[in-house]
Amino acid sequence: MKIIKTAFAIGLILAASTALAERNEEDLNGAEKSGSEVSAVTEFDLVILNGRVIDPETKLNAVRNIGIINGTISFITEKNISGQETIDATGKIVSPGFIDLHMHGLNLGAYRMQATQGVTMALELESGVLPIDEFYAGQAKKNLPIHYGAAAAWTFGRIATFTGNAPEATAEYFQNAQGASNWKEELATSEQLDKILKEVEEGLEQGALGIGINAGYAPGNGHFEYYSLAKLAKKHGVGTFTHVRFMKGPERNNAFEAFQELIANAAANDVPMHICHINSSSQKDITHTLELFEGAKANGELSSTWWELHCQWHLRKVGLLAEDAHLLWEPAKSQIVAALAEESRQLRNELYRWKLSNIKRIESLKRQVELFIEHFDDVQRDQMKLF
């Protein structure tokens, strides 16, 4: 019996989908088994029945039953199967755990919210964070329900260099620097550039997943600085994640120019440079920027194998197989549900305490509403005079 390993996330059954996809009856690289093979297995540990199964790897998108043995998907079939445990996924989607490359909330609540939406790995790559050691140590204490990771934040390196405040791995560090304009607008001297690159490189050495280049926040950086970041990424075998420095608008200093710069740096360094939201940066210039992007892709300047080359490598580095990412979900489920219940209990208590301490205000508000209703006709008449 061949065990099929796929990247399915057990139990990641998302919001109901009423429109069921047309059944895809193609041969799915052996992912589906014939009836005789299925019946040879007496019982599965777990079966997920009647879900709309979506697997990007095999392009399967149809209602199927899934049989799991030892935490691994063994069969995906239209036949009836049974197991020690059954999940009825009728009207729901069963899919791999999503990997979110673009998230910013670093607190427990943000990750819990992601988990409830089927995300099993949430990565802060666009902005990134520094110091990376501090980030991982801090997140480890939060008992997060899903995988997490971050890029080395170029903006943090710039803030540290221009303001003299050493980086702290918090959202507040970035927010508190918003009042200063030097790190956003000024060109770095060669000494400053060295310091910025050193900060970022330290992050990479500490295990950052790439370089976060939130250039929209510091559009005044030099072209050589951006090029140097791409070169640094190449040196460390990682990609970059850019929110480009300019938005739509007439030339100069527009999105087209910013994407052209990104593509040139990617090509010159032979390094994957991820574009964060080409749509919202380009807006009405999207046809021009897409043409640029598609042209570069067609001519082989942009790597489409970033995931294969780099993400997988990082997963291996931490001893995690991509297809095993789902294993985290099941044990975390009860924890998430309990935590949510606890939060709702606290909220109810807070609301109750607020009601008690504001009883006079509430009474007076009630009275005002009553008065308004009592005198509704008068009020209306008064209002009429105004027009």
In the numeric block, which tokens belong to residue 126? 């666009």
In angstroms, give the least distance from the CB of 23 to Zn ion.
Answer: 38
Q: Which of 218, 297, 231 is nearest to 258 (CA)?
A: 218
> Which one, 64 or 243, has the nearer CB to Zn ion?
243
* Contacts of 70 by beta carbon, 8 Å cutoff, 6+ apart: 45
In angstroms, give the least distance from the CB of 380 to Zn ion.
Answer: 48
> Which one, 143 or 178, has the nearer CB to Zn ion?
178
> Which one, 24 or 170, has the nearer CB to Zn ion?
170
Looking at residue 309, the DSSP 8-state letter turns out to be I
> Which one, 50 or 155, has the nearer CB to Zn ion?
155
Q: Which residue is at the shortest CB distance from Zn ion?
A: 243
> Which one, 45 or 100, has the nearer CB to Zn ion?
100
Residues that bind Zn ion (CB under 5 A): 126, 243, 276
Q: Is the separation of the CB atoms in 225 and 246 below 8 Å?
A: no
- Distances from the Cα of 305 to the Cα of 8, 207, 209, 212, 293, angstroms: 21, 20, 15, 19, 16
> Which one, 275 or 276, has the nearer CB to Zn ion?
276
In angstroms, give the least distance from the CB of 282 to Zn ion.
Answer: 12
In angstroms, give the least distance from the CB of 35 to Zn ion.
Answer: 48
* Contacts of 258 by beta carbon, 8 Å cutoff, 6+ apart: 215, 244, 245, 246, 281
* Contacts of 28 by beta carbon, 8 Å cutoff, 6+ apart: 58, 59, 60, 76
In angstroms, give the least distance from the CB of 321 to Zn ion.
Answer: 28
Radius of gyration, CA atoms only, the chain: 27
In the numeric block, which tokens belong to residue 2? 């061949």
In angstroms, give the least distance from the CB of 216 to Zn ion.
Answer: 6
Q: Which of 234, 275, 271 is nearest to 256 (CA)?
A: 275
